[in-house]
Structure 1
Amino acid sequence: MLQFINDLPDNVVGIHAIGEVTKDDFERVLIPKLDDLVKRQGEINYILVLETDVANFTVGAWWDDIKVGLKHFTKWKKIAIVTDQKAVEWFTSNVFRFMAPGQSKGFPLGQLDEAVKWVTEE
């Protein structure tokens, strides 16, 4: 399930992933928020708090993830992935940053406040 994270600055979309993540979650929660953010400010600052294994993303969710990434490819400014999954954190900090424009950084779950600070600062 994807849930919108409240109490973030207006220039940030924050999503909390728990349990199974489906195509419907992307279409109801994530995509409208990203589209609105791009319309309002022309760029995306994004935080994903990942408290589910990536294996819990359905095929439809992965497909929508790829589509939304490509749809806004040039709009990504900062991406923070907050998780205790060391492989995901490492991938975000060391590989993903070469595949997408903007900056990306992985944080452990205990550093959510630092992730928010990082993604919101200019």
Structure 2
Amino acid sequence: MIKIIESEKDNLISAKISGIISKTDVEKIHSLIHIIIEKGNKVDFYFDIHDFEGYTLQGFWEDIKVDSAHISDYGKMAFVGDKKWQEWVAKATDFFSSSEVKYFDLREKEAAKKWIAQ
């Protein structure tokens, strides 16, 4: 499930991610991406990941389609979590994109918020 968190930064999509991500969840993010890029901005992301279990098959496929269509539209990405594999995902995202990507442990949540707000 993706729960959107209010943000004061116009080009930031901030979300809590938990449970299983569905196609509907990804579509919700996709519409927000379009709102930001239509204003001529890069899209920054702040993801607070807790008890994440994975994707539905349709959700995973939709996420791949959205990312492949918009990877050049992405700016900074902050991943906040408590699992080693989440840190690896952030590193892989950094490697495969031109975005500036950082992983923060849950204890560093405030630092992540400060970094993504800059």
Q: TM-score, normalised by structure 2?
A: 0.88
Q: CA deviation at 1:82?
A: 0.9
Unaligned regions of 5+ residues in structure 2, if any? none
Moved over 4 A (4+): none
Q: Contact 1:11–1:41 (CA<8 Å) still a contact in 2?
A: no
**Distance across 2 between alignment mates of 1:113 and 1:8:** 15
- Structure 1 residue 98: Cα displacement: 1.3
Instruction: Spell out, residue by residue over 1:74-115, the C-alpha distance to the aligned partner (whole angstroms, 9 max, x if none).
Output: 1111111111112211331x3321101121111112322211
Q: Which amino acid aligns with 1:90?
A: W
* Count of residues in Structure 1 that have an aligned counterpart in Structure 2: 118
Kindly provide the amino acid, as one letter, of the partner of residue 17 in structure 2: A
2:26–2:59 contact (8 Å) kept in structure 1 = yes
**1:1-34: CA deviation from partner (whole Å, max 9, x where unpaired):** 111111342221111112221111111x211111
Alignment of 1:14-53 (within 5 A): 14-27=14-27, 29-53=28-52
What is the alpha-carbon distance in structure 1 between the residues aligned to residue 63 and residue 107 of structure 2?
Answer: 25
Question: Which residue in the other structure is 1:62 paired with?
Answer: 60
The percentage of aligned residue pairs carrying the same residue is 25
Query: Aligned partner of 1:35: which letter?
Result: H
Q: TM-score, normalised by structure 1?
A: 0.86
* Range moving further from structure 2, 36-45 or 99-108: 36-45
Unpaired segments ≥5 residues, structure 1:
none
Aligned to 1:100: 97
Alignment-derived partner of residue 84 in structure 1? 82
Aligned partner letter, 2:77: I
Distance 2:62 2:83 in 1: 22
Query: Greater strand share, 1 or 2?
Result: 2
Q: 1:9 is paired with a residue of what secondary structure?
A: coil
- Between the aligned partners of 2:8 and 2:19, the Cα distance in structure 1 is 22
Name the CA distance, whole Å, in 2 between partners of 1:44 and 1:7. 13
State how far apart, in whole Å, the 2-side matches of 1:34 and 1:111 are: 26
